[in-house]
Amino acid sequence: MTADRVLRKESLHSSLADPVLDTMTFLNEVTMRYPEAISFAPGRPYDGFFDTEDIVTHLRRYLDHLSEAGWSPQQIRTAMYQYGTTAGQIRDLIAASLRIDEHIDVTPESIVVTVGAQEAMLLVLRALIAGPSDVLLVSSPCYVGITGAARLLDIPLVDVEEPADGFSCAKVEAAIQREHARGRRPRAFYVVPDHSNPSGTTIGPEARAQLLELAARHQLLIIEDSPYRLVSPGNPLPTLKSQDTAGVVVHLGSYSKTVFPGARVGYIVADQRITSADGHSTLLADELSKIKSMVTVNTSSLSQAVV
């Protein structure tokens, strides 16, 4: 039976008419159509070194890890086959790797495992942008994924132009002051400090310290997106999160570049303390998990196991 009900495009959410929402699909389709071409646009890692059988090896290693940790066969079966915990089942391993690789010392409870960094952006934006006067500052040019997520959520974006000679804290502060003058609240600033996509810019040590000080002074949260650090040449500079003494940085990570994109596993470090009017206290990670439970329920247990 063929449905003959026709919906007008104008009756759908206005974001669906925005060309930015076609970008990801377009980039992936072009790459699939021309497999011999080397495209720098979608951030795809080279897959010539991948061995399909490695997936099985990695999964077996994780199952052995659970068994050695004292999990029963029933517990392992449930962990792999059932809906998993919303916040993720490899948070302890992520916390350990962050401590070793990035000197970011956080508890597993402050981490949320996500379906790639793209879901992480959506969750963080939904939680932080609370009203019509809240705006998101973005370092411009910026990653199209944050633009699309904000568009879906009807979140106003304010571009902070990145000069040709590199990142400028003065421009961030000027944007904050302009928005305050307009009666709006700059809630957060999205930035990729290391090898930013698409500009390629890396923020220097002095500017990183200035940005953290500025954020603390203006009560601005920094959304630090760090997908490229472990695949970049040379010794990386310390992350903003590792230097965050004021609790102003929400750190986003992805295993798409360091493991493989098909796993679709990312994470959020959100250790900020949230207090309610009745004195109850939680972590921002707990609040993000509530949103995730209504979006993807949980990140694939099999993908987490392989990662």
262 and 123, same structural domain? Answer: yes
30 and 143, same structural domain? Answer: no
247 and 140, same structural domain? Answer: yes
Look at residue 235 and tell me if it is in a domain. Answer: yes
154 and 35, same structural domain? Answer: no
Look at residue 79 and tell me if it is in a domain. Answer: no
- Asked whether residue 181 carries a pLDDT value surpassing 80, the answer given is yes
Q: Which amino acid is at 33?
A: R
Query: Structure pTM?
Result: 0.94
Crossing angle of helices 144-152 and 23-33, rounded to 10°: 140
**104 vs 163, which has greater pLDDT?**
104
CB distance 225 to 117 below 8 Å:
yes
109 and 39, same structural domain? Answer: no
Give the mean pLDDT of 36-59: 85
Look at residue 304 and tell me if it is in a domain. Answer: no
- Asked whether residue 4 carries a pLDDT value surpassing 80, the answer given is no
132 and 31, same structural domain? Answer: no
Tens of pLDDT, residues 204-259:
999 999 999 999 999 999 999 999 888 888 889 999 999 999 999 999 999 999 99
Look at residue 266 and tell me if it is in a domain. Answer: yes
- Asked whether residue 275 carries a pLDDT value surpassing 60, the answer given is yes
Find the domain containing 243 and state its range: 91-297
197 and 120, same structural domain? Answer: yes
- Asked whether residue 287 carries a pLDDT value surpassing 80, the answer given is yes
154 and 28, same structural domain? Answer: no
User: Residue 252: CB partners within 8 Å, gap ≥ 6?
Assistant: 117, 120, 121, 124, 223, 224, 225, 226, 227, 266, 267, 268, 269
CATH code for position 276: 3.40.640.10
Burial of 84-95, coded b for 16+ CB within 10 Å and e otherwise, reads bebbbbbbebbb
Look at residue 82 and tell me if it is in a domain. Answer: no
Report angle CA 41, 22, 86 to the nearest 5 degrees.
90
Look at residue 2 and tell me if it is in a domain. Answer: no
99 and 40, same structural domain? Answer: no
Please state whether beta strands 266-269 and 273-275 pair in parallel, antiparallel, or not at all (unpaired): unpaired
- pLDDT-above-70 percentage for the chain: 98
120 and 33, same structural domain? Answer: no
At 210, is the secondary structure helix, strand, or coil? Answer: helix
Look at residue 76 and tell me if it is in a domain. Answer: no
156 and 22, same structural domain? Answer: no
154 and 20, same structural domain? Answer: no
Number of domains in the chain: 2
Look at residue 53 and tell me if it is in a domain. Answer: no
Question: How many residues are listed for the chain in this entry?
Answer: 307
